[in-house]
Structure 1
Amino acid sequence: MTTQSTNRFKSYWRLLIAAIRGKEEDFTTGSIRKAIFMLSIPMILEMLMESTFALVDIIFVSQVSVNAVATVGLTESVITLLYALAIGLSMAATAIVARRTGEKDKKGAAEAAVQAIILGSALAILIGIIGIIYPKEILSLMGGEANLIEEGYGYTRILIGGNITIFLLFLINAVFRGAGDASMAMWALVLSNCLNIILDPIFIFGFGPIPAYGVEGAAIATTIGRGTAVFVQFMILFFGWGRIKIGIKDFVFRSKVMLNMIKVSLGGIGQFLIGTSSWVFLMRIMSEFGSDVLAGYTISIRVMMFTMMPAWGMSNAAATLVGQNLGANQPDRAEKSVWKTGKYNAIFMASISLVYLIFAHEIIALFSDVSDVVKYGALSLQVIAAGYVFYAFGMVTTQAFNGAGDTKTPTIINFFCFWLFQLPFAYFGAVTLDWGPIGVYLAITLAEMLIAAIAIIWFKKGKWKLVKV
């Protein structure tokens, strides 16, 4: 290794440590590449932490009973709707806090953070009351059988009843990201996950004086883990350990800020609901081709979702950079940040795509030894990965709109590309033309390309630079 290569490695290593530790930076000045790196690393790790929650629960719950696993699945389907609300509010919180941070308006950023917390808490409490009173009815509505409902309603009651921890964990982390404190969002989830991993087996199987709660124990562990992380988040905000500091006196209703928050969040909620519902319908089409095909598709999607975490981390970094630089009245720097992030994302996605194209069968074979599962799972990886480079730019530009506070544009793009193009094409190709599963795979790939093309064209028009939040 040459001296130049050694120095470069040391430089990147120092940046990596600084990003994880959360060194304070002004992302409206200096190197854009450094800003992307400093924001992306903790955001990538944060998303990886979030993805381990469900995985850890399933690992332990699967040792209880089949009904326990089914209960988790049905409850998670309901929780997905809560995620839509939480993610929509989070997009608004990130955009508004980032804009105020770029404007160097600390008071305005704190006000936005507080209004997001108040709104999220109010929604969570209403939903929590329903979850506490009607857990059996919720499981029944989702199609749960009588014995499953009797065994698992406690899990549903605890998880939905304590959903305020989900809302606040999402929202306060969004506030941290908008302010540029991405590492604090990451460490909050590290704490939450570590507690969940430790507490899951204790509450599920029992330990010492703590009885075995079965599947309910998973809900208890998850709620305690998230709740503890939220407590730490509030400490960070109240003591001003990050860029934003709030106090008890700040917890007052501010109609103008609240209405702005709701307006921006509606687009974010719409984006999530459109995307989620389209995947549900695609799954329904895939179910027509048998369990082996469906299993292969499910495995491939899980693999892709996990490997795309770094791409989403970089896209979220672009959202923060856009918001802060627009706030600092530097729209050109905001635009440059998006193109540069898009380039890095495309390089990453291209490398992942190459791995899928070459080793698709080997990857799916790690999860199943059934020949048809491997065959169709590998085909799914290969066909969908063909659009990855395009989607890399689509992801970044979509999040750039959100970071600017223009959540309506991505919602319109998603509606057109998912509902008006992807779903009809998938059904027409897979069923009407009898192409089988490849019809669905092609629909996903072409929709990814279409999203990227429309988003880039729309982004180049520059109207997002004029959005006020």
Structure 2
Amino acid sequence: MTKESNSAPSKRRANLLEAPVADTLKQMTIPMIYGMVLLMTFNLVDTFFVGLLGTQPLAAISFTFPVTFTVLSLTIGLGIGTSAVIAKLLGKKDQCTAKDSATAAMYLAAIIVASLSFVGYLFTDELFTLLGAQASLLPLIHDYIDIWYIGSVCLIGPMIGNAILRASGDTKTPSLVMGSAGLVNAILDPIFIFGLGPIPAIGIKGAAIATLVSWIFGLAFVLNILTRKLDLIHTHIIPFHKLLPACKSILKIGLPAAGANMLTPIAAAIMTAIVATYGESAVAAFGVGSRIESIACLVVLAMSMTLPPFISQNFGAGHMHRVEEAYKVSVKFVMLWQLVIFVILVGLAPWIASAFAKEQAVEDIIKLFIWILPLGYGLQGIIILTNSSFNALHKPMIALWLSIVRLFVCYVPLAYLGSYLYGLQGFFIGALLGNVLMATISYRLFSKQFTSTSSVSQVESI
């Protein structure tokens, strides 16, 4: 790397191999929280503007969520694989191979996403008809998803490019990329949807174009950082003999991680179906509770992005004592943090419920949700961080199996059993007990990595 590229990253990149563990994780996580809050806020603005178009456009976009989530889950999985591979190489001080792998990751993600989107484009009508969309909605779905497919290749910027930056210890730049791209989208949405000056109103197409432009902006932003400022990827085509092994390494972790991501909406659909047996009020309250959960667990999600690069770099350097310390510090923090969040939510439960509900039945169920499920968010955080940590140790199949066991052996079955025996209250308690059981399994399994020795060879032998 050039002298300039070595000096520039020092301002943004944390020293993951030598700096104090707790301080380093804090330094990495706080910028990610800011970026995620901004992104979530701007996405809400996006949904708000589309909702102003009417019920049909909102329904059309709602039908696209399973398809877009599939592409996003695959890209997130590739980002997890990218981060794990590159961070380990950087921990080994193998800068050249890390740069080759980062470049290969961008190629790989672009090819896979483009191929998947092209197939989706060819079978749009068949796919959305299968999902239950009426023929009258298909033109609106085309207006949005056709443009979304074109722009999806640009996802390699915010997803893969940011993963490369996090692997190097830089979480400030990814936070800036997420926030900036979200801001661009939020500004352009009303302009393209409703028109402004010489720009005509183009409705739902405008929402898709705003998203496309924000992704192009994010991709250009990331590429400029990765190539010109940090020198983390090549600007030329890398030879096939370097490309192939790098892609295999990324896919080995990325595909199981993507599969684990896709299990979550399946489990959520089953849980919603169980709740639906109690009527529309229960479904509405459960939907509100799910939104509360996504906000309440924001810090855990941010840590799930910052802990893996730390673990992978120290794994590559053979510093397993720092891996153990980082994991245990993170677990203690999320338990305490989520306990504080639980106390706050319980105190605000009446106000939260009344703000979201127009009917007393919905309000009562929202309060019941808040009084029970958030008590287990710290335990849920242990599960999430453990899965992320196994991916970081290049053990994605363990993480995948933990996700399967958590969702389809513990969480959903115990929630169903509780519902069967004790109604809606039993449903919530069963889900809570599922998190208790799975958190115990996850923590003990990961702790076994360090019971005999902290050497890399011991971890590899499991």
Question: Above 0.5 in TM-score?
Answer: yes
Partner of 1:151: 140
Aligned-partner Cα distance in 2 for 1:86–1:53: 21
Aligned residue identity for 2:24 = A
Aligned-partner Cα distance in 2 for 1:321–1:105: 16
Q: Structure 1's 251 and 440: CA in aligned 2 closer, same or farther, altered over 3 A?
A: farther
Partner of 1:285: 274
- Compute the displacement of 1:243 (Å): 6.5
- Compute the displacement of 1:275 (Å): 2.1
Tell me the TM-score normalized by structure 2: 0.91
Partner of 1:454: 441
Aligned-partner Cα distance in 2 for 1:266–1:30: 32
- Compute the displacement of 1:42 (Å): 1.5
Structure 1 segments, 4+ long, off by >4 Å, are none
Partner of 2:315: 326
Aligned-partner Cα distance in 2 for 1:302–1:256: 41
Among 222, 226, 246, the alignment partner of 2:234 is 246
Number of residues of Structure 1 aligned to a counterpart in Structure 2: 446
Residue 229 in structure 1 maps to residue 215 in structure 2 = no
Partner of 1:303: 292
User: Is there any run of 5+ residues in structure 2 with no aligned partner, and where?
Assistant: 1-8
Question: Is contact 2:57–2:140 with CA below 8 Å preserved after alignment?
Answer: yes
Among 380, 383, 387, the alignment partner of 2:376 is 387
Equivalence map 1:151-300=2 (5 Å): 151-239=140-228, 241-242=229-230, 244-250=232-238, 252=240, 254-300=243-289
Question: Is contact 1:206–1:213 with CA below 8 Å preserved after alignment?
Answer: yes
- Compute the displacement of 1:305 (Å): 0.4
Q: Secondary structure at the match of 2:277?
A: helix
Partner of 2:86: 97
Partner of 1:16: none
Question: Is contact 2:89–2:97 with CA below 8 Å preserved after alignment?
Answer: yes
Equivalence map 1:340-355=2 (5 Å): 340-355=329-344
Partner of 1:128: 117
Aligned-partner Cα distance in 1 for 2:460–2:157: 27
- Compute the displacement of 1:112 (Å): 1.7
Aligned residue identity for 1:27 = L
Question: Is contact 2:157–2:218 with CA below 8 Å preserved after alignment?
Answer: no
Aligned residue identity for 2:441 = I
Across the aligned residues of Structure 1 and Structure 2, the Cα RMSD in angstroms comes to 2.1
Partner of 1:373: 362
Farther off after superposition, 45-54 or 83-92? 45-54
Partner of 1:45: 34
Question: Is contact 1:311–1:348 with CA below 8 Å preserved after alignment?
Answer: no
Aligned-partner Cα distance in 2 for 1:365–1:405: 46
Aligned residue identity for 1:260 = S
Aligned residue identity for 2:158 = L
Question: Is contact 2:193–2:206 with CA below 8 Å preserved after alignment?
Answer: yes
Partner of 1:424: 413
Instruction: Give deviations 1:238-267, integer Å, cap 9, x for gaps.
Output: 11x237242214375622121111111122
Aligned residue identity for 2:289 = S
Among 141, 146, 150, the alignment partner of 2:130 is 141
Question: Is contact 1:300–1:378 with CA below 8 Å preserved after alignment?
Answer: no
Farther off after superposition, 251-260 or 447-456? 251-260
Instruction: Give deviations 1:341-377, integer Å, cap 9, x for gaps.
Output: 2222222111001112232222222222321111111
Question: Is contact 1:47–1:313 with CA below 8 Å preserved after alignment?
Answer: yes
User: Is there any run of 5+ residues in structure 1 with no aligned partner, and where?
Assistant: 1-19
Tell me the TM-score normalized by structure 1: 0.90
Aligned-partner Cα distance in 2 for 1:151–1:316: 35
Q: Structure 1's 118 and 55: CA in aligned 2 closer, same or farther, altered over 3 A?
A: same
- Compute the displacement of 1:53 (Å): 4.8
Partner of 1:8: none
Farther off after superposition, 31-40 or 394-403? 394-403
Partner of 1:17: none
Residue 439 in structure 1 maps to residue 443 in structure 2 = no
Q: Structure 1's 181 and 467: CA in aligned 2 closer, same or farther, altered over 3 A?
A: farther
